[in-house]
Amino acid sequence: GAGVSQTPSNKVTEKGKYVELRCDPISGHTALYWYRQSLGQGPEFLIYFQGTGAADDSGLPNDRFFAVRPEGSVSTLKIQRTERGDSAVYLCASSSRTGNEQYFGPGTRLTVT
Amino acid sequence: TQLLEQSPQFLSIQEGENLTVYCNSSSVFSSLQWYRQEPGEGPVLLVTVVTGGEVKKLKRLTFQFGDARKDSSLHITAAQPGDTGLYLCALKRGSDAGNMLTFGGGTRLMVKP
């Protein structure tokens, strides 16, 4: 079956621009997670959805970052007024509600010039 | 201060050699997971260890959870070029609020043919 997909795979944007990153989770998975992975580091948690609601957004670094999941499936991570420090790979993962395993997508590599 | 410290950060070995990588913390874990990440891909779960002193084997990979549940190791026997990748340990935080993962910084392994 289809795994987690993320689009675009690469995004280059200029400092100050707005970007949207999309995640399509595995069908039927109610839990969805966003992580950010900077070069040479492990992923860092950003936000977690259970269904349509953001159950925990404690990892979002500031109010320029926002994520939605309006129908409980696809999620969009939105970054306003991008900064060079936002450059990283943004990973999405999904799991069943009680699942032990999170299934990760391939990530979106964001480069802010 | 990182919750999970992984060592070494980098490891380059020849095919056929054995190696061990470590994941340590000053805190006690309820469970720990090991992931492997290849370039351009998301992390893939290898194993979950739960019980202090537990040993799990996955083909040539042996995972051990420390007796005090504050450390873990991954041993690879007769490494192969296909083992090349980033090895990450992670712990889950939260239960009712979800299974957000906190990752270590990773060990980047390169196995040369």
**For the segment A14-54, what is each residue's pLDDT rounded down to a tens digit?**
999 999 999 999 999 999 999 999 998 999 999 999 989 88
Q: Is the pLDDT of residue B28 over 80?
A: yes
Q: How does pLDDT run across A62-92, given as a tens digit for each residue?
A: 999 999 999 999 999 999 999 999 999 999 9
Q: Is the pLDDT of residue B27 over 90?
A: no
**Whole-angstrom Cα distance, residue A22 to residue A107?**
10
pLDDT, chain B, mean = 91
Q: Tell me, which fold does domain A5-97 have in CATH?
A: Immunoglobulin-like (2.60.40)
Q: What is the reported pLDDT for B2? A: 61
Contact B103 A99 (CB under 8 A): no
Give me A13's structure tokens: 């944007």
Q: What is the reported pLDDT for B98? A: 65
Chain A residues with at least one Cβ partner in B under 8 Å: 4, 31, 33, 35, 40-45, 48, 50, 55-56, 59, 91, 93, 95, 99-102, 104-107
Q: Is the pLDDT of residue B110 over 70?
A: yes
Contact B100 A56 (CB under 8 A): yes
**Whole-angstrom Cα distance, residue A104 to residue A25?**
9
Q: Is the pLDDT of residue A1 over 70?
A: no
Q: Is the pLDDT of residue B93 over 90?
A: no
Is B41 at the interface with chain A, CB within 8 A? yes
Q: Rounded mean pLDDT of B78-103?
A: 86
Q: Is the pLDDT of residue B106 over 60?
A: yes
Q: Is the pLDDT of residue B1 over 80?
A: no
Which residues of chain A does B102 touch, with a Cβ-Cβ cutoff of 8 Å?
A: 45
> Please, where are the H alpha helices in A1-113?
none
Cβ-nearest to B100 among A4, A33, A101: A33
Q: Rounded mean pLDDT of B8-33?
A: 93
Model confidence at B51, pLDDT cuts 50, 70, 90, reads confident
> For residue A62, what are the contacts with CB-CB under 8 A and spacing of at least 6?
none
Give me B49's structure tokens: 């260890």
Give me A65's structure tokens: 């970052």
Distance of CA A70 to the CA centre of its chain: 14
Domain limits, chain A = 5-97
**Whole-angstrom Cα distance, residue A78 to residue A19?**
6
Torsion over CA: B105, B61, A92, A6 (sign): positive
User: B94 vs chain A: nearest CA distance in angstroms?
Assistant: 10
A25 closest CA partner among A113, A102, A80: A102
Q: What is the reported pLDDT for A55? A: 86
CA dist B52 to A15, B30, B31, Å? Answer: 48, 9, 9
- Phi, psi of A20, rounded to the nearest 5 degrees: -130, 135
**Whole-angstrom Cα distance, residue B29 to residue B27?**
6
More confident site: B17 or B53: B17
Give me A56's structure tokens: 């925990």
Structural domains in chain B, CATH included, are 8-112 (2.60.40.10)
Q: What is the reported pLDDT for B92? A: 82
A108 closest CA partner among A37, A60, A44, A45: A37
**Whole-angstrom Cα distance, residue B100 to residue A26?**
17
